[in-house]
Each structure stands twice: as C-alpha cells, then as structure tokens.
Amino acid sequence: MPQPQRREITYTDELLADRTVHRRYSDGRQEWRGTGGGAGGRVVTWRDDRGLVGTDELLGQRIVKRVYGDGRPAVYGREAGYGRTLWSDGVLTVNRTSFGGRLGTVLGAVTAGALVGAALTMPPTFLSPEEEEELRRQAEASASGGGGDAGGDGGYGDWGDGSGDSDDDFG
C-alpha cells in the first residue's frame, strides 16, 4: 500500500483562562481544545473555526485516535517525541509552542535537520475495536504502576503555559 504524501504543519498552543487551549495551525486553521472528562484525562474534545468537532484520544503506545463528529473515518497518529505527531493521512504536526526566540530558531533547525534523516514510523491506518481496547488496557496498566508505556499518560489535566518540552499534547 503506498505511503501518503507527507506534509508538515506547525502549531502553537495558548492556554486560556478557562483552562482550554486555543491552537493555531500554520495552514490558517484554529482549534479550541478541552478535556473531555472521560478516560482518565486521555480524551480531548475539540472544535475548529471551520465548524468541525470531535475528540482526540490517547490510546496508548503513543497512538492517538482522532474522531470527527461528522462521521468521517477516524485518523490515527503516532507521537514521535519533540512535539511531533505523524498522522495516518501523511500530515506531520509539529508543536512550536515550547520554543521561543533565538533558542526556538536553533532547536527548530536542529529538529528539522533530524527529520530529514530520521524515519518516522507511520501510525496504523485502521485499528479494530479490540486492538484499540488492548491499547487502552495497556495504558491503564502502565498508569497504575504496571510498567512503562512509551507514550505516558500526559493528558491535559496539568496544561501549562506551553513552556517545557512536553510532547503529550495529542498531536
């Protein structure tokens, strides 16, 4: 099966007073994100400036499932560290929130250079309900001290001001 054409979209997050996040993408889209209250902080609800709504769920093992409210098929992402998430539709989202000023320019160049030579692992294009449930189960087990999930729980329970190097922002 051919790989989708990869394109990069950067974004920045701004923590709002009501503890939601306003996300601005380099392609002009805007999204408002908040915790969904379910799945132990592993689900984020979102709505965008184009009328779309949905959820992003961190399933486990760094796999994120994006569900659209209009019924279109789910898209899966794989968090790749350093604020990068590669999506099954070929889009690589890169969080530029964490790095500002001269340091951000240097780190952005280093990250971009690393991406040229680094092979990012594509996320699945489809998971069965049983496979999704197994990822959730593994994530719950690791969160309760049963081992280390490579992706960690993260969630948005402790959203900060965008500083730091957290990559658990669900893409």
Angle among Cα 168, 140, 135 to the nearest 5 degrees reads: 75
Report the relative pairing of strands 7-15 and 91-95 from DSSP bridges.
parallel
3 Cβ contact partners less than 8 Å away, ≥ 6 residues apart: 90, 122
The predicted pLDDT at position 5 comes to 73
**CA gap 144, 2 in Å, rounded:** 39
* 19 conformational bin, left if phi > 0, alpha if psi -120 to 50, beta if neither: left
Q: What is the mean pLDDT of each run of 10 residues along the chain (171 residues)?
A: 78 95 97 80 94 96 96 96 93 84 53 55 96 95 66 43 47 70
Helix (H, G, I), strand (E, B) or coil at 95: strand
- CA nearest 59: which of 37, 76, 84, 45? 76
CA-nearest of 145, 142, 151, 120 to 56 is 151
The pLDDT value recorded for residue 137 is 95
* pTM: predicted TM-score of the whole model, two decimal places: 0.76
Give 164's DSSP letter. S
Using an 8 Å Cβ cutoff, are 50 and 29 in contact? yes
Secondary structure class of 137 (helix, strand, coil): helix
